[in-house]
Amino acid sequence: MADPESALSRATSRRRSSRAASVDVVPDDAFQAVLLAAQSGAQWACTNLWVDHAPAVMAFLRARGSHEPEDLTSEVFLAVFDGLDRFHGDAAAFRTFVFTIAYRRLVDELRRRSKRGHHVEWDDELDERRSPSAEQAAIDQLADASTRALLEGLPPDQRDVMVLRIIGDLTVDQVADVLGKRQGAVKALQRRALESLRKKFSGGRTPGASSGDSRE
């Protein structure tokens, strides 16, 4: 099995290639056209924004232990659409905007559940009504269920960074914005998470060389 840092490198590379095929073909002015239409209340534009971002949001919420990821995704996008008039930026900024709302809603859910003393185990089963997606492919790059379970063994701040980077496909800068942390802090959390995962994953074998993934 490849070590987790290599898995992260492969996952981010694969996601960048996937987005090159789907996003680079559509220039940012096309996103702006969709955004302006959505801000004007066009249903087709809101649907486009949902289709482009909801699968990744749901995968992130599911991976971080949301008890009802579908319902929470709906709540996230209600908030997104309510806040469209206040949003200004490009496609990357919009993805950060969406995941910031998703993260805050997730924190609220986990806090409520903690007060009730309710615990939910990791659930890696995706909604069968969804077709296979880039999000699932990214999860698969982590190897197998035992590796994914290792993410659950990380401290919450490290786990947030890793899930946002791999499943959310966010850059270090975007993760910093979502979590309200400095870029250096996010990089340090990722570095510590990868080191911890390599040690657990390899069972004592010498970890691979650093991938040097500094995608901004």
- Supply the pLDDT for residue 210: 41
Burial of 190 (0-12, 13-18, 19+ CB in 10 A): buried
- Annotate 35-90 with DSSP letters as a single string: HHHHHTT-HHHHHHHHHHHHHHHHHHHHHTT-SSHHHHHHHHHHHHHHTGGG--S-
In this structure, which amino acid lies at residue 128? E
- Supply the pLDDT for residue 164: 92
- Supply the pLDDT for residue 55: 94
- Supply the pLDDT for residue 24: 43
Which one-letter DSSP state was computed for residue 155?
Answer: -
Chain centre to alpha carbon of residue 103: 9
- Supply the pLDDT for residue 133: 47
- Supply the pLDDT for residue 174: 96
Q: In order along the chain (216 residues), what is the average pLDDT of each group of 10 residues?
A: 54 53 58 95 96 94 90 96 95 96 94 68 45 46 53 88 89 95 95 86 48 46
Per-residue pLDDT tens digits for 61-101: 998 889 899 999 999 999 999 999 999 999 999 999 999 99
Q: Is the pTM of this model over 0.75?
A: no
DSSP three-state, residue 120: coil
Q: Rounded to an integer, what distance in angstroms lies between the CA atom of residue 30 and that of residue 8?
A: 30
- Supply the pLDDT for residue 8: 58
Tokens 């699968």 label which residue?
Answer: 55
Number of Cα atoms under 13 Å in the Cβ half of residue 34: 19
